Amino acid sequence: MAESKPRVAIIMGSDSDLPTMTAAAKILDEFGIEHTMRISSAHRTPKMTAALAEGLEDAGVKVAIVGAGLAAHLPGVIASLTTIPVIGVPMSGGGLQGLDALYSIVQMPGGVPVAAMSIGKHGAKNAAILAAQILALSDPAIRDQLQEFRERQTQGVEEKDRALTAGEL
């Protein structure tokens, strides 16, 4: 995990979110995008969260990926203190199995957007891909990698289809 000059910050509210958010880090590693991972809670460390959010842009971070569960205020709180794009990932689990986190992340009122992803690991992975898509707008190398990623992804499905047709699945 590259730590110097991170362009993406992955922030989560609790270390229990780490297994999910690691899926985002893996994709960024695959793309060679420098990133940092932080734990900061909207409710238990509000000042650290505010300082972190306010410092993102000066630290050169271009996109923040923020995971949170239950009431899941963290992505919105960070988005309120920076103007870089904030991508929110709802954690699954808890009595409402992530629906609470999803609503809390996606239903932001007009004025301060958060880009909501799907619940859990799918969402964490997609957050990293979306971050790459955003960075690719001004970084042709990432754009090329995205094209290759998409092609590999397409080939993966094609290979599964071939295997199924061949009776190998």
Q: Contacts with a copy of itself in 87-116 (CB under 8 A)?
A: 87, 90, 92, 94-100, 102-113, 115-116
Identify the residue among 26, 29, 30, 146 touching a copy of itself (CB under 8 A).
146
Which is nearer to a copy of itself, 28 or 40 (by Cβ)? 40
Q: Does 2 bind a copy of itself (CB under 8 A)?
A: no
Q: Would you call 63 exposed, middle or buried from its count of C-beta atoms within 10 A (0-12, 13-18, 19+)?
A: buried
Q: Does 83 bind a copy of itself (CB under 8 A)?
A: yes
Q: In degrees rounded to 5, what are phi and psi of residue 68?
A: -160, 155
Nearest distance, CB of residue 56 and a copy of itself, angstroms: 12
Tokens of 149: 């990623």
Identify the residue among 33, 56, 66, 119 touching a copy of itself (CB under 8 A).
119
Strand partners, 35: 8
CA 124 to the chain's CA centroid: 5
Identify the residue among 26, 30, 50, 66 touching a copy of itself (CB under 8 A).
50
What's the DSSP call for residue 168?
Answer: -
Q: Does 133 bind a copy of itself (CB under 8 A)?
A: yes
Can you tell me the distance from the alpha carbon of 60 to that of 6, in angstroms, rounded to the nearest whole number?
Answer: 7
Q: Does 58 bind a copy of itself (CB under 8 A)?
A: no
Can you tell me the distance from the alpha carbon of 36 to that of 44, in angstroms, rounded to the nearest whole number?
Answer: 21
Q: Does 136 bind a copy of itself (CB under 8 A)?
A: yes
Q: Binding residues for a copy of itself, how many (CB under 8 A)?
A: 90
Nearest distance, CB of residue 147 and a copy of itself, angstroms: 7
Question: Longest C-alpha distance within the chain, in Å?
Answer: 58
Q: Does 6 bind a copy of itself (CB under 8 A)?
A: no
Q: Does 26 bind a copy of itself (CB under 8 A)?
A: no
Residue 95 near residue 116, CB atoms below 8 Å: no
